Every structure is written in C-alpha cells, then in structure tokens.
Structure 1
Amino acid sequence: MTIKPITKLAFLLALIVLAAGFSACDRIQNVMAPEAPHRRIGAGAEVSIGMAVHLTGAFESTSGLVMKRGAELALEELNALHAGVATLSFIVEDSGSTPEGGIAAYTRLIKEHGVTTILGPTTSTVVSAAFPVAQENGVVALSPTSAARGISALGEFLFRNSLTVDRLIPGGVAETQAKLGYQRVATLYDSADVFAQSSDEVLQEALQENGVEILATETFAFGDRDFSAQLTRIKALNPDAIFISAQTTETTEVIIQARQLGIPFEVPFISSLTLTISEIERAAGAAEGTIAFTSWSSTANTPGNQEFVANYRAKYGDEPNVFAAQSYAAVYILAKAIADAGATDAAAIQQAMANIKDLDTVLGTFSFDENGDGVYTPVTLIVKDGKLAPFGEVEAAAMEELRNHLWVVNQDGVEVAVPGTWKLLSTTHPNSTYTLGDTFILPPVSPHKVMKTDGVYTDGEGRLWTMGHITLADDSQLKFLQWVDMNASPVQLHIILRTDANGEPLLEYGTYPFASPEHDVQVWEQQ
C-alpha cells in the first residue's frame, strides 16, 4: 500500500515531538498559550475519535458506506505510519440518515463515550441538527461532506472540509456560462433538504449576477420519484440549461425522466453534487453531458490523490467517489490537528484546527477559513462517454458534437446513442425516395444536417418511438419517428416518415397505424 510521503513525514515529526517528553510538550503549550492544562498524548497512547455515520436509512449506500470506507483507509495508513508512538481509533455510532439520528449519535458519543472529537455525519440536513450538540458540549466536530452555507458558523468548535455552496457555485456558474453561453435557465430543487435549499439560493444569486434569466424554479420533496409534472412545465419553457439541487438519488431519477420526456441533450443538467459511477451507469445514456460543481476529481494530481485512488480500489474493489475522498482527507486533517495540539482535549484541538493552513491533502492545498469551512480549489466535472471528466478539458466543439448525436429511446425508456454507419435494408412505400443499400452516418458530418430529438411517441402496440428531426440546407425540417432494436444482430434502426402519395416526406410526424401510402417504414442496419 502506497502512503503519502509528505503527510507521513509531517505526522511522524509531530508525534516524535509528542513522545519526546515534558520539554517538548511545554514548548507546544507555550506556542498555543492555553488557558488551562491540556491532556497530553503519551507514547503508546490510544486516541479515540467519534464517528457519526449513516449506517442505516436513506443515505446508507450513497454516502454512509463510502464515508466509513474512506475514513477507515486513512486511519489504517496513519496507524501504520506511527506504530508504537500513538494509535488512532474510531468509536462509531449510527446517525441513521435523519436529524434525530444525528442528534442521538452525537449525544451517545459525547455522554457515553466521552469523545472530544467527532467525524461526520455527511448530509447538511443531519449535520445542521447534530452540530449544535457538539458546540454546546465543547466538542470538536468535523463534517467531511456537508456543503450548505452557514453551518460551521454556528460555533467555534464546528468545522467542515467540504467546499460549501458559496465556494462551489459562483465560480462554476461563471465557468460554464462562459463556455456554454446559456442565457435562459430553469432551476429544480428538493425543498425538504437543507443542502438543496442552500444550493438553489446561491444558484439564484450567481445566475442573476451573470445576467442569466431564470425562467422558472420548480420544487419537489425528498423521496419523491415522479418528476414528470415539474419537468413537463420546464420543457415547455425551452430553457438553455437546467440546474438541479438535490441528493444524488433524486438527481439521477430527474435526469432519466427528463430525457424520457424529450428534454434534448442540448439542454444540459448542471448539479452541485456529483453523480457516482454507479448512478451514471444506472442512468445509462441519460446522464451524458451532465455537469457538476464539486470538490474532488479522481484524475487530479493533488498530493497523494492517485495513491489514494489506487489504495481504495485495492482495498474495496470499487471506485472512490467524492464522499470517500473527503472523508479520507478529513481523518488526515483531524490527525494533523491532534498532533499539532499535542493533547486530546477539545480546546487544544479546536485551536489547532483553526490554525490549519496550506495543508497538502488529496483535495488540494487545504486551509480553514474564519468560519471553520474548507478552502481549496473547486472542480467542475462533466459526464463524457459514461465517465466523469474535467469540464475544462471538454471544449465547446466537443460539447456541440455531443449534443448533435442522434439519441434513441430504447424499450426500457432510456435514451441510447446510435453513432455509426447505417445501411437501408427495407422500405414499405412503393415510391420511396430512398433506395435499398443507401447509407448514412451518425452523427451527421454535414453541418447543415443536424439531427436532434424532440420527445417520445407510444404507438398502438405499446412501443416507444423517438421523435427526431433533421434541419436541412434550406432550414426546413425532416421529421421522423424511430426506434432501435438492440436485440437484432447487427442492431437495426426502424424509421417512419410521413409521406404524400408520391413518397415525398412531409414535415410532420407519422401517426399509428403506420399505413402506406401515408407512411414509409424503413429498416436500417448498423454496419
């Protein structure tokens, strides 16, 4: 297992100082000028850190498990580094994915276990309820992932190493608006979630500051699974982009349903939370082009980041996400503060935490601001070819190419890309203007023939068809219905054109039943 060399050296030096005896501890105390004696860390001591983590409930799989994994990986590395000097350990309590669970977990950790530092939980809704318990009891609390504005400012013992929405969103809006040029947008957020409320609030401010018109703001409640009414209203407004503020489960479902309703891929979704790889896979092609303002990237060359990614994969057989990375970094940050404090009491650790500046972490060069919130460089990511990539590396030309792919709704209601060369196998109209053996390429190479999707159509047999159009050289539009048979080998693309009696395509969509001579039903085979 590879361990970050910079952190290893710094931590070892700090612990050597702690183990050197009273004179070293006295020097630390003189520097910190404490008002009361601190509980020093002796050689071979065990330092317990409380962990409040969502082991059950709605966030168990999306953030609880990965937080625990990231933290435990860091703990394992740190203990391997200073074996025989001091040992860090976790006392874990389930925060249950609810505000009440967070309060109960903090109370147990403080009253029953007597911890002076607590790591977690993850979500802003739960953190905003639990943090006051730590503040009232003078216990240091560090949430690795919560990002709503203002929570750390509730007290001097409260810290967060995630970037807050105030640091993520304004720069992200400025960057994406400059590249994509959106002028008219809609926002959609979870009105029952503290993070989502805060995110949309900051989005409204940032969009207005950048001169972007907000056409509508739609809401839903955490746990909702049908977003068709909100998305239908948004679609009717024809926005240039849609901003969504929600937890990742709801965000994924919104994106899937939006593409099923025919909101085209030229209208990107932009989020303040990054979808995980499993969520991107679940969304299939629907997630393509989704943009996220976030705190971490697996491809970044921040100190120790590639080693962390490799070690996480080796230990858990899975890809780390931003929650795992933030939790991993949080343990190193806490360990740095404990080592700098040279003591286990909360007052000393709080002072050391507040003084952390320019610390090398997998998140980047890290500092705490005056409110106890993390400061480092944010990241903007985009889903490209089913993976998360830095937005800045996907240039405007590539974005346009992505939007101009032809997408087809499969029979599971999920849009899939159908690039490649296609050859005409059959046609039903006796006067069809198409000849067997004709071919075409997707996406179109001719700039005046841009294919885009407009929605879906269900025929009398229950099949889903994609409604698409081609803008021709004279600015007219050739409209058609299509569905892809993924079970055929090679894959077949069925296309229906509404025609006149002479076989000339009309500028309107076909309607079931697809009878001749009003329709030309074509089958194209992928080459």
Structure 2
Amino acid sequence: MMSRSNYSIGRNTVTALILAGLILNFSACDPVMEPTEIPVGVILPLSGTLGPLAQSVMNGMDLALEEINARESFRIRFIVEDGKSNVDSALAAYSRLADQHKVPAIIGPASSTETERAIPLINNKKIATLSATAARSGLGTQSEFLFLSSLSVGRTVPEGVRISKKHLGYRNVATLVNKVDAFSNSSNDFITQELGMHSDVTIVHAASYRLPQGASFGDITAQLTAIQNAVPTPDAIFLSALPEGRIGTLIAAHRQGIRIPFIVNFISIEAIHAVNEAEPGAAEGTITFQVWLPNSAVAESREFVDNYRSKFGEEPGDFAARGYAAVTILGEALNRVSTYDATSIRDALADIRDFPSIFGPFSFDENGDAVTSPVIARVQNNKFEVLD
C-alpha cells in the first residue's frame, strides 16, 4: 500500500511535469526576438571623377558591416546615396537621408568641401555625422554633431614636415595648391605655417590653380614652368590637391621634365599606381603624410588586410581602410548606447578614447577630430616605405 507521503510526492511530481510542459509549449509559441536594426546613411561619390576611390571606401565599409553584424546584438543597415562627385548632389543626398529615411547617423559626406557645405544641414537636422575621408582642420568646431575619423591636416602636417625635411634636407621649396577646394586650402595653409617655423627653409615660389570638385584636370603648364624657373631651384614641391589633382599634377610634372620630389598630403596608393601606370616612374620618390599604410604592424590592421584580401582578392588601399575604420568606430559607439537616437550616438562617439582601431589607439578630441598617429612614407618601386 502506498503511504500518503509517497502519494503526495507523486502527485506533486506529476503537477510539476504538467507545468513544465505548459511552459515549454508557450515558449515554443513565443516569437523569436530579432536583433534591432539601425539604419545608417552613407554618402559617397560612387559616380563621377571620384567614383573609383569611393568604391574602395565602400568595400572597406562593407567588410566592417559584415563583421559587426555577425557579432553584435544589433544590425546596421546601410542606406547608400550617391554624391556623384559634386557638392550639390552630396547635399541633396544628406537631405534625403535626413528627411525621407530618418536615419540617426550618417557616414559622409566624403570631401572636406562637401562636409563644410553640409554643416548648416548637420546643425539643423541634428544627425550624428561621421566623415571617413574629410581632412580639413576646424570642421568639427562648427558642429557638435560632426566627427572626422580620418586625421585632419593639422595633425599630419607638423610631423610630415619634420620627417620629410630630415630625409630630403630641403632649404628651398615651392607650394602648389588647388584654390577652390576646402581640403587643399587647409593643407596648404598648415604647410605654409609649419614651414615658416623653420628658419632655414624658404618658400621660393607659391603657385595655384583652380579645379572644382568633379571637374576634369586641366592644363597647369604655366604653374609648373614657374616652379621650374624659380630661383633658387626648389629642393621639394608641396602639393595640396584633390585626388584627381594629385594624379594629374604628378603626371604633368614628369612629362614636363620636372624631377624635383613632390610632397603630397594624403596621396593614396591607388593614385600612385595610376600615376606610374600612365607615366612610368612619375610617382617614384613622392612623400606622403597618411593616416594608414597596408604594412602597418598594428594587430587590428593586419587582421583587416588579411580579411580584405580574402573578400576582395586584393590588398586594401588607404581609402578602403578609412571606410573600414569609420564603420568600426561607429559600431563601437552603437555598442555603448541603450537607445539608437542621434543624440545618444553623438554622445557615444564623443566619448571614444583609445579605441583599438586599425590606425592604432584612436580617440576623438573635444572638436570631434581624430586623434591617432600619422604615418610618413616615400614611394619606392610603386610602394610606400615608412620614413621615421
């Protein structure tokens, strides 16, 4: 005969099993929680003169997007707008992303001129805005919602002048600048200022040309001739220009017989290859001030290069790296917030300090400018070799 105590235990056990079954049944009916999707606007000049470089930026961004979406509890969804290599199209793209798509964050605009012209929109729409490639100094001071993930010229030029002077030993130099571009003017201003701090260096000729963003490169024979005829002869030429101006100038100078070394802020390895393909040897000896190089020893950079090669079958250039870095930095900010609104994202970006990026330890300063170490390099055999 079963005792009351044994019977009681058996009844409780049956009840527990029934309840467990009900819980499992209800759980099976519950919908699976999907990751939160965050729409992020992207403005790049995918068509026009800057199209090939913009595609490199996009490749880097896509790689970072895949990696972030595979590991985080949220999902980023890009809404891509073509800036068409001209300022008005980039501004229209910004307005569409803000007004139609209601995105809380935008990566772009691409150029310093576009970004500068977009500042009234950024301040009005109050969208967290991160430019991967703009490098004019002082842009971030004009908007608390604007951040630059690439180094500004104010951070590359002092170290670049110090190291290039050490290696070239120049005393007489010339400058050449595109006068209608925000980045080029900012670069030239900082170069002129920095050179003025060296009492043994003289700017023997200052030349300029005018090439609006998106326009085809024109004839600068007169400017190059004036530099050739300067007395004393320059030991180096500092060039501040947009990508198409960098390529066009190096080709034109070589064809004109100029063998004076050029020092070009932010010239990419893609541009170097384009120059040497069009005019063999024209880019050799060029010195650049950069934010990143493929042979970086930073662990995150080595991993990025390997993953990029696996995905795209080629080595990344600095534009791909800048796209990748921008997305990983934004991803870090998104990882720090509980609500994905523009103000929260802006605050999280502003708080980033010593983030382990492919550039090395990365921070934003009080103006939203990138703080990391610049890289100075010289072209040798169609590759960049680091100078120290």
- For the superposition of Structure 1 and Structure 2, which TM-score range results when normalised by the shorter chain? 0.7 to 0.9
- How many angstroms does 1:186 deviate by? 0.3
The residue that corresponds to 2:30 in the other structure is none
The residue that corresponds to 1:210 in the other structure is 198
Change (3 A) 1:334 1:317: same
Counterpart CA distance in 2 for 1:368 and 1:380 is: 21
The residue that corresponds to 1:322 in the other structure is 318
Counterpart CA distance in 1 for 2:246 and 2:332 is: 35
Counterpart CA distance in 1 for 2:352 and 2:367 is: 13
Q: SS where residue 280 of structure 2 aligns?
A: helix
Counterpart CA distance in 2 for 1:132 and 1:43 is: 36
The higher radius of gyration belongs to: 1
- How many angstroms does 1:319 deviate by? 2.6
The residue that corresponds to 1:56 in the other structure is 47
- How many angstroms does 1:317 deviate by? 2.5
Counterpart CA distance in 2 for 1:253 and 1:339 is: 42
**CA contact 1:147–1:163 (8 Å) conserved in 2:** yes
Q: Aligned letter for 2:103?
A: V
The residue that corresponds to 2:87 in the other structure is 99
**CA contact 2:49–2:244 (8 Å) conserved in 1:** no
**CA contact 1:243–1:271 (8 Å) conserved in 2:** yes
**CA contact 2:37–2:77 (8 Å) conserved in 1:** yes
For residue 171 of structure 1, the aligned residue among 136, 144, 159 is: 159
- How many angstroms does 1:260 deviate by? 2.2
Q: Gaps (5+ residues) in structure 2?
A: 1-32
**CA contact 1:148–1:198 (8 Å) conserved in 2:** yes
The residue that corresponds to 1:67 in the other structure is 57
**So what's the TM-score if we normalise by structure 1?**
0.64
The residue that corresponds to 1:257 in the other structure is 252
The residue that corresponds to 2:267 in the other structure is 274
**CA contact 2:42–2:78 (8 Å) conserved in 1:** yes
Higher relative contact order by CA 8 Å / sep ≥ 6: 1 or 2?
2
Are 2:38 and 1:47 equivalent residues in the alignment? yes
- How many angstroms does 1:303 deviate by? 3.3
Counterpart CA distance in 2 for 1:131 and 1:152 is: 9
The residue that corresponds to 2:8 in the other structure is none
The residue that corresponds to 2:373 in the other structure is 377
**CA contact 1:144–1:161 (8 Å) conserved in 2:** yes
**CA contact 1:142–1:159 (8 Å) conserved in 2:** yes
Counterpart CA distance in 1 for 2:122 and 2:136 is: 18
Q: How does 1:407-446 map to 2 (within 5 A)?
A: none
The residue that corresponds to 1:308 in the other structure is 304
**CA contact 1:252–1:275 (8 Å) conserved in 2:** no
**CA contact 1:303–1:361 (8 Å) conserved in 2:** no
Q: Aligned letter for 2:51?
A: E
Counterpart CA distance in 1 for 2:39 and 2:220 is: 45
**CA contact 1:67–1:122 (8 Å) conserved in 2:** no
Q: SS where residue 360 of structure 1 aligns?
A: strand
The residue that corresponds to 2:338 in the other structure is 342
Higher strand share: 1
For residue 217 of structure 2, the aligned residue among 218, 224, 246 is: 224
Counterpart CA distance in 2 for 1:224 and 1:298 is: 28
- How many angstroms does 1:280 deviate by? 4.2
The residue that corresponds to 2:14 in the other structure is none
Are 2:240 and 1:245 equivalent residues in the alignment? yes
Change (3 A) 1:284 1:248: farther
- How many angstroms does 1:224 deviate by? 3.2
Higher helix share: 2
Q: Aligned letter for 1:284?
A: P
**CA contact 2:135–2:153 (8 Å) conserved in 1:** yes
Q: SS where residue 201 of structure 1 aligns?
A: helix
- How many angstroms does 1:225 deviate by? 2.7
- How many angstroms does 1:43 deviate by? 5.9
Counterpart CA distance in 2 for 1:280 and 1:342 is: 48
Q: Gaps (5+ residues) in structure 1?
A: 1-41, 393-527
Counterpart CA distance in 1 for 2:244 and 2:301 is: 26
Change (3 A) 1:311 1:269: same
For residue 361 of structure 1, the aligned residue among 357, 360, 365 is: 357
Counterpart CA distance in 2 for 1:228 and 1:108 is: 41
Per-residue CA shift, 1:496-523, capped at 9, x if unaligned? xxxxxxxxxxxxxxxxxxxxxxxxxxxx
Q: Aligned letter for 1:120?
A: G
Q: Aligned letter for 1:91?
A: I
**CA contact 2:246–2:267 (8 Å) conserved in 1:** no
The residue that corresponds to 2:10 in the other structure is none
Q: Aligned letter for 1:231?
A: L
The residue that corresponds to 1:22 in the other structure is none
The residue that corresponds to 1:332 in the other structure is 328
**CA contact 1:313–1:320 (8 Å) conserved in 2:** yes
Percent of pairs with identical residues: 38
Q: How does 1:189-200 map to 2 (within 5 A)?
A: 189-200=177-188
**CA contact 1:189–1:220 (8 Å) conserved in 2:** yes
**CA contact 2:250–2:275 (8 Å) conserved in 1:** no
The residue that corresponds to 1:125 in the other structure is 113
Q: Aligned letter for 1:70?
A: G
Counterpart CA distance in 2 for 1:275 and 1:231 is: 22
Counterpart CA distance in 1 for 2:140 and 2:86 is: 19
Are 2:75 and 1:90 equivalent residues in the alignment? no
**So what's the TM-score if we normalise by structure 2?**
0.86
Q: How does 1:485-524 map to 2 (within 5 A)?
A: none
**CA contact 2:174–2:203 (8 Å) conserved in 1:** yes
Per-residue CA shift, 1:377-410, capped at 9, x if unaligned? 0001111011111123xxxxxxxxxxxxxxxxxx
Counterpart CA distance in 2 for 1:370 and 1:280 is: 38
Counterpart CA distance in 2 for 1:303 and 1:373 is: 23
